[in-house]
Amino acid sequence: MDIFKVKKYVPMGLLCLFVGKVILFGTDYSDMGVAIALVAYSALVDYLEKHKKLQDIEHIVNKQNEVISKMALEIDSLKTSIVGVKMGQNFKKVI
């Protein structure tokens, strides 16, 4: 098993073990501090992972928008060229 996969589940595993200890032996103020720290750490790690995924998606969308805008400019220039060619052909037919 990969070390990074194990590292991902260590805080939640510690929290589960700690909750089991609290259920079996009771609690005091220091135990509440440890529980709050473990929950805060787990929430922070989860938030940072989701934020990173959102940043990656935003980056991909920005790249796609750039490609779409370049394609739109190219299509517009092609339309302009086609109109110019058609106008040139009509003038030749008249003369």
- Boundaries of every domain in the chain: 3-94
- Given this model, what pLDDT does residue 29 score? 81
Q: What is the pTM of this model?
A: 0.58
As averages over each run of 10 residues, the pLDDT of the chain (95 residues) reads: 74 87 84 87 89 93 96 92 81 57
- Given this model, what pLDDT does residue 27 score? 81
31: buried, middle or exposed (CB in 10 Å: 19+, 13-18, 0-12)? Answer: middle
Cα–Cα distance, 64 to 71 (Å, whole number): 10
Cα–Cα distance, 70 to 78 (Å, whole number): 12
